[in-house]
Amino acid sequence: MEKAIFAAGCFWGVQHYLDSVPGVIKTTVGYTGGHKEEPLYEEVKSRTTGHAEAVEVEFDPVLVSFEELCKLFFEIHDPGQKDGQGPDIGPQYRSEIFYTNDRQRVVAEKFMKQLKEKGHTVHTALTPAGRFWPAEKYHQHYYRKTGDNPYCHFRIKKF
């Protein structure tokens, strides 16, 4: 198994798309990249923790590659929107990949370069993964529970 952590706006929509990928074993929505220990949603939302809403993905690299997940990440959000995604505005909704090994960093850099060469703006940050704090239970698999669909994530082919 391998882990990856993606932040691309509201974590509900990101989890929705990642859950649909064969080879993804488990996804968990949560918070990372900030300074507050054991942050709660209301604290992250208040922009005082430095954390981003993110999704930790456990996947089987024999069934799905990090490359495939990284492409999906860039295709389900606008990496050109800084500190927000669609109607969700604030640094907690930033575009960021928290890489768990150097290979993930290199792959992410490759895709970012490709997007820029195609004329896309990319504000995605690359940061070594730190502590990941799972979000409250009611946030986990939100769209599966509600039967709704993401309102600010849409897949647009870019590669």
Active-site annotation, residues: 10
Q: What share of the chain is helix, strand, coil (3-state, %, to 5)?
A: 30, 25, 45
Q: Which two tokens stand for residue 115?
A: 């997007």
Query: CA 109, CA 116: separation in Å to the nearest integer?
Result: 11
Residue in 98, 49, 48 with CA at minimum distance from that of residue 73: 98
Query: CA 150, CA 92: separation in Å to the nearest integer?
Result: 18
Angle at 83 between CA 78 and CA 84, to 5 degrees: 55
Buried b (16+ CB within 10 A) or exposed e, 149-159: ebebbeeeeee
